[in-house]
Amino acid sequence: MTRPLLEVERLHKSFGGLVAARDLSFSVGRGEILGLIGPNGSGKTTVLNLISGALRASSGEIRLEGERISGLPPFRICRRRIGRTFQLVRVLPGMTAIENVMVGAMFGPPRSAHRTAHFEATELLERVGLGAKKERLAGTLTYVDQKRLELARALAGTPRLLLLDEWLAGLNPTELAGGISLVRDIRDRGVSMILVEHVMHAVRELCDRVVVMDAGIKVAEGKPEEVLAHRDVVRAYLGDENA
């Protein structure tokens, strides 16, 4: 049996009396998109922060290809080819779009030279639909374009695991269709993903499996169509299993 790319085992994180993740376990297979869903405040972003090293777990273990990564600083986790986007977009506003992506190429795991980074950044910006805006200052781009830029920068680090935190949120129907197509293309190139998302259409379209969290606890796991009909999932979102 093939070992999962990522294994999360009995993960626990508390902030004083607030428990954001309680005894949480799941795995991500190679080439798989795992949906991580749940109501606001359920602990989803905290889990991404724990995987990426932005937070340290109170207990539990995270392994990448069998190697423990929990407790490592973010730059070491990045060099193990885990990339991410953020719920609140983070770009370098005073730098151009292409410079933002070059940062990912020059300081990510491949550590590309300047000329190579420029070429790679140009290709990635074309891929996410920003080729014509590569010389624009990142701070002048629209919210949707900044999301695309952040994704291109994450991809510049050649991730084998990509953490997408509500990357499809706030898109109109046309933008959403394009975003779904782009995420599929990334997966088809061999990148595994954890997708934190509230857009259930995207979850159904993209995710191979879904983990549902509520108040830091995993309440369901399985295929999207099965999980989204689960009474505990309905109760977590709507407050009434008969809703």
Residue 238's pLDDT band (cuts 50, 70, 90): low
Q: How many Cα atoms are found within 13 Å in the side-chain-facing hemisphere of 226? A: 9
What is the mean predicted confidence (pLDDT) over 116-129?
96
CA distances from 188 to 191, 201, 236, 241 (A): 7, 20, 32, 36
Domains of the chain: 1-81+159-243 (3.40.50.300), 92-156 (no CATH)
Region 80-84: mean pLDDT is 96
Angle between helices 143-155 and 173-188 in degrees, nearest 10: 0
Q: In whole angstroms, what is the distance from residue 81 CA to residue 131 CA? A: 24
Return the biggest CA–CA distance within the chain: 59
Per-residue pLDDT at 109: 77
Lowest mean pLDDT among 100-104, 112-116, 237-241: 237-241
Residue 41 CA, chain-centre distance (Å), reads 17
Whether 195 and 188 have beta carbons less than 8 Å apart is answered as no
What is the pLDDT, as a whole number, of residue 1? Answer: 65
The residues, ordered by sequence, that sit 6+ positions from 225 with a Cβ below 8 Å of its Cβ are 204
* 29: Cα separation from own chain's centroid: 15
Q: What is the mean pLDDT of residues 62-67?
A: 97
What is the reported pTM? 0.92
What share of the chain in percent tops pLDDT 70? 97
- What does DSSP say about strands 33-37 and 192-196: parallel, antiparallel, or unpaired? parallel
Structure confidence at residue 74 (pLDDT):
95
Please determine, for residue 240, whether its predicted confidence score (pLDDT) is greater than 70: no
Q: Which two tokens stand for residue 234?
A: 């309905």
In 3D space, the residue among 209, 167, 210, 159 whose CA is nearest the CA of residue 187 turns out to be 159
